[in-house]
């Protein structure tokens, strides 16, 4: 843990974003999301969330290009679609919608007799799973959250909060993330990424929102591979394959959470929470990503052998473990 903390603290100093929250608040103010949160405007919040969900499964460039050309589904579009007559029984509620099975490529679903009138194929989304995700999320906000997603978040966090508990952050994160993992086609990673910024930047007066957002960690291949290459996983006896194990007991997320407790994020910005796993995770991602510092990724490192990037700022301290030592 001493090695992991030292290395990750250096990464935070190099690639951390001291204006992470301020930048998001400025963006939210510009697009009207801050006002929407104060108004408890589910439609505007849904529109922002579903666009974030639309970026999963493909590169950001591909998703952005498709949205630019075809647009993104909105809450109004779905409200109109739910007025379809005769209505498919799957569209009655969030719970009925489970198992819709719409597949855009093949033009089929699990209620084929209603397919001709079904609203899902009428939305020009990238694939059928995204259409299902949009309707599932809309119905969740309507039926589970009672048409007031902001109040639902407040209530979930209040019920879960134990202000003096050591696991307070975990309780808060699970209170909002766990129910939403049942929304069709929305990955755990995307939930953590989008909800983290919504909660961190949505309202500076909501302490529980900030505490929960600060603890939301999203692991992608860049972060997992860096933790492998750096030797952190090996030193901690936490080697694992990328995937669900990254969120397990000895996974990447658990390591980042533990290390974050040893790093006072207020040294990077006095207004930050003291323990800020999201900031730490984002710094690692920025250090690796081609759109960030572009240092530790598959384009820069030959994964069949130990890294040879002598110009890397942590080269002399890094474990430089080969990611895939067997040639293909």
Confidence of residue 77 (pLDDT cuts 50, 70, 90): very high
Question: Where would I find the H helices in the chain?
Answer: 2-15, 20-31, 33-39, 42-53, 60-70, 75-81, 128-139, 149-160, 168-180, 188-202, 207-214, 221-229, 232-235, 252-260, 277-288
For 78-106, the pLDDT digits (tens) are 999 998 777 899 999 999 999 999 999 99
Within a domain: residue 76?
yes
| Residue 301 DSSP class | S
Q: Is residue 67 part of a domain?
A: yes
Instruction: Please give the residue range of the domain that contains residue 99.
Output: 41-147
161-195 confidence digits (pLDDT tens) = 999 998 999 999 999 999 999 999 888 888 999 99
- Other beta carbons less than 10 A from residue 22's beta carbon: 13
Report whether pLDDT(327) > 60: no
Q: Quickly state the pLDDT bin for 326 (edges 50, 70, 90).
A: low
Q: What DSSP letter does each residue of 15-27 carry, written as one string?
A: H--TTHHHHHHHH
**CA-to-CA distance for 222 and 204, rounded, in angstroms?**
30
Query: How much is the pLDDT for 328?
Result: 44
**Residue 16 contacts residue 284 (beta carbons within 8 Å):** no
More confident residue, 270 or 125: 270
**Domain count across the chain:** 1
Q: Is residue 85 part of a domain?
A: yes
* pLDDT tens-digit map of 253-287: 999 999 999 999 999 999 999 999 999 999 999 99
Q: Hey, what are 287's tokens? A: 């250090």
Q: Give the whole-angstrom CA distance, residue 2 versus residue 226.
A: 17
pTM: 0.91
* pLDDT score for 64: 79
In a domain, 160, yes or no: no
Flag whether 110 is in a domain.
yes
At residue 310, does pLDDT exceed 80? yes
What is the model's pLDDT at position 67?
Answer: 81
Distance between CA atoms of residues 46 and 164, nearest Å: 33
Query: Is residue 46 in a domain?
Result: yes
pLDDT: which is higher, 63 or 274? 274
- Residue 134 in any domain: the answer is yes
Q: Is residue 305 part of a domain?
A: no
Q: Are 281 and 288 in contact (CB under 8 A)?
A: no
């Amino acid at each position: 843990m001493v090695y992991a903390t030292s290395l990750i603290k250096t990464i935070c100093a190099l690639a951390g974003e001291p204006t992470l929250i301020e930048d998001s608040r400025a963006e939210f103010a510009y697009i009207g999301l801050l006002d929407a949160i104060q108004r408890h405007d589910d439609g505007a919040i849904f529109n922002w969330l579903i666009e974030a969900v639309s970026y999963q499964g493909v590169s950001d460039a591909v998703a952005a290009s498709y949205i630019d050309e075809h647009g993104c589904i909105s809450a109004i579009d779905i409200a109109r679609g739910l007025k379809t007559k005769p209505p498919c029984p799957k569209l009655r509620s969030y719970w009925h919608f489970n198992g819709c099975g719409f597949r855009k490529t093949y033009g089929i679903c699990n209620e084929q007799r209603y397919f001709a009138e079904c609203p899902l194929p009428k939305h020009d989304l990238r694939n059928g799973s995204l259409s299902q995700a949009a309707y599932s999320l809309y119905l969740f906000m309507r039926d589970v959250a009672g048409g007031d997603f902001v109040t639902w978040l407040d209530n979930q966090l209040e019920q879960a909060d134990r202000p003096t508990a050591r696991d307070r952050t975990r309780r808060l994160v699970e209170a909002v993330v766990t129910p939403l993992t049942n929304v069709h086609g929305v990955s755990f990673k995307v939930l953590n990424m989008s909800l983290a910024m919504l909660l961190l930047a949505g309202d500076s007066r909501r302490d529980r929102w900030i505490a929960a957002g600060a603890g939301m960690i999203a692991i992608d291949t860049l972060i997992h591979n860096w933790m492998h290459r750096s030797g952190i996983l090996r030193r901690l006896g936490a080697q694992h394959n990328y995937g669900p194990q990254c969120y397990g007991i000895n996974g990447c997320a658990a390591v980042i959470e533990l290390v974050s407790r040893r790093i006072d994020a207020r040294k990077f910005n006095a207004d930050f929470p003291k323990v800020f796993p999201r900031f730490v995770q984002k710094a690692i991602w920025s250090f690796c990503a081609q759109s960030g510092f572009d240092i530790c990724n598959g384009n820069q490192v030959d994964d069949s052998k130990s890294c040879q990037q002598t110009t890397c700022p942590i080269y002399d301290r890094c474990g430089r473990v080969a990611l895939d030592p067997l040639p293909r």
